[in-house]
Chain A
């Protein structure tokens, strides 16, 4: 259930705020272990070897992947597509909503276009709701509560991509 990700995240935060120092140290330890493992990821390692190439890191099938900051839907990476491609036999919506996400690997903010893939019933896997910067439907360019299978031959929503469409303007 898509709400559970957020629910559990919120509960984790509440738990962390009210748990013991030992618990906090355990969490900190896990964070440090996780941090130590980041340079070992293939993408990061390749980047280290080729400093001229753009970098990003993380697991595109995980809801906490940096591009998914404003997403609400099934991750196409778990449905036969990738973070920026649709699964076979689906149709990508030409209109969509956007978010601005921070790429921790290069420190830049990017505009992400969350094009839906349409024409088959709900993918059902890797439901992810982050909603950062999401707005109600009177701001459609920032709304993920709409079925964006618009301008497609089928209105059936299948999954959502997260496509880098440019650098965000600095505020």
Chain B
């Protein structure tokens, strides 16, 4: 009986408290409940990416079938704001963007059982708005170039109607693809010569083991009009050049292992090699600076190019990156700025526009660092995307 009375008393007190609470809540205007949300909404991106966006290509060196490209906005502060989306690139492929077509092209390789089974090489076509694979072109012969990423393994030509894909089997050739029809036009042999650099509007050039260019001019139907080998201008044994140029305003600037720049006029149908000039001013010569890294060079829209440099260069140091970026004015044939990095750089890319920024891969922890290309000032570290080996970077278009 006593217990029953206590329980009734307790219930009365609690009721009073709830009533008072309701009264307070009504005074504060209770917010409406969350609306029921639609299911199945997928985000989209602009068809042309803003200048502050970059493509971060993680080739996944430790698990190559799971390569991935992050589309990031470096102007943002947090990972949640920076990551705009991703797409996969299997087996150390290469990518090329076409803002004009709002598409990204990627060479990929698959086996039917992961690392075994039948092999399929494909050109995958991603649309920039949805990051969806909207088409693919089968690449026959198991020959598409597969190696550490290159900017010039793929090349858009003929006003972005065709894509040239470099092959290495180890025979060298180029597969020409019609991007309107999504089919192969032809395969063009480039014996002894690698990659695809622009020359003219409907052609390409390849760099050869004997220190020449092989320039290929194509007819309207994609067949070979003529192929011309230039004079040899370097020795791949004694003074090799990097296969990684900065191409700007009809000139490709190729740095060499021994820190020279070879300007190559690529505005015509045949590559025309100019006089090389030194990258290292005399006052710094004793420190033996030289280019090094993977994506060692890129250009801005203001007429300058940027190179990762390291001191005390030795045989074998050319892939290791460097502690500084040197900025060049090719018209003046002069270094115009040194940008000391916070730690080390392995690859770089430069954004487009009037206020360019440099994104750098720091190989010590595989993070990304952003620098102001005009002042050289460090802006921020970008990390925690889930990246492992972001060896190639591209300014987005």
A interface residues with partner B (beta carbon < 8 Å): 1-4, 6-7, 10, 13-14, 17, 69-70, 72, 95, 119-122, 124, 129-140, 142-143, 145-147, 150, 153-157
Indicate if B272 sits at the interface (CB-CB under 8 A).
no
Residues of A near B62 (CB, < 8 A) are 122, 124
With both beta carbons as reference points, the residue of chain B lying nearest to A122 in the complex is identified as B62
Please tell me which stretch of B43-51, B216-224, B317-325 contacts chain A, meaning at least 4 of its Cβ atoms lie within 8 angstroms of it.
B317-325
Per DSSP, chain B at the interface is loop
21 A/B residue pairs, CB under 8 Å, sorted by A: A1-B363, A1-B366, A2-B61, A3-B363, A7-B321, A7-B363, A14-B312, A121-B114, A124-B62, A131-B316, A132-B316, A133-B316, A136-B240, A138-B208, A138-B236, A140-B168, A147-B91, A150-B170, A155-B146, A156-B116, A157-B64
Across the interface, which residues of B come within 8 angstroms of A17, CB to CB? 312
What total count of A-B pairs have CB within 8 Å?
128
- CB pair B207 A138 closer than 8 Å: yes
Asked whether, in the complex, the Cβ of A145 is within 8 Å of the Cβ of B147, the reply is yes
Which partner residue on chain B sits nearest A95 by CB separation? B170
Docked Cα-Cα span, A143 to B311, in Å, equals 23
Nearest Cβ on chain A to B186's Cβ, whole angstroms: 22
For B208, the closest partner residue in chain A by CB is A138
**Nearest A-chain residue to B121, judged by Cβ:** A155
B344 pairs with A7, CB closer than 8 A: yes
Residue of A with least CB distance to B147: A146
Assess the A156–B111 pair: CB atoms within 8 A.
yes
Q: Give the interface of B toward A (CB within 8 A).
A: 61-65, 91-92, 109, 111, 114-116, 119, 142, 145-148, 150, 168-170, 193-195, 206-209, 236-237, 240-244, 310-312, 315-321, 344, 346, 363-364, 366, 389
Contacts A1-B363, A120-B115, A155-B91; A138 near B146 (Cβ below 8 A): no
Residues of B within 8 Å of A7, CB to CB, are 320-321, 344, 363-364
Alpha-carbon gap, A137 to B114, bound state (A): 27
Q: Which of these, A72, A124, A138, contacts B319 with CB under 8 Å?
A: A72
Residues of B within 8 A of A146 (CB): 145-147, 168
Asked if A122 meets B317 with Cβ closer than 8 Å, knowing A138-B236, A146-B168, A150-B170, the reply is: no
Given the contacts A4-B364, A156-B111, A13 and B236 also touching, CB distance less than 8 Å: no
B194–A154 contact, CB under 8 A? no
> A76–B142 Cα gap in the complex (Å)?
25
Q: Please, how many angstroms separate the alpha-carbon atoms of A46 and B209 in the complex?
A: 43
Complex Cα spacing A119 to B115, Å: 6
Whether the Cβ atoms of A137 and B194 lie closer than 8 Å is yes
Q: How far is the CA of A131 from the CA of B257 in the complex (A)?
A: 13
Specify which of B92, B170, B237, B346 lies most central, judged by the most chain A CB atoms within 10 Å of its CB.
B170
State A120–B64 Cα separation when bound (angstroms): 10
Query: CA of A142 to CA of B237 in the docked complex: distance in angstroms?
Result: 10
Q: Could you say which residues of chain B place their CB within 8 Å of the CB of A140? A: 168, 170, 194, 209
Question: Least Cβ distance of B134 to chain A in Å?
Answer: 25
**A63 CB, nearest partner CB in chain B, Å:** 12
Q: Chain B contacts of A131 at CB under 8 A?
A: 316-320
A8→B122 CA distance, assembly (Å): 38
Q: A154-B119, A157-B64 are in contact. Are A133 and B315 (CB under 8 A)?
A: yes
Contacts of B312 in A (CB 8 A): 10, 13-14, 17
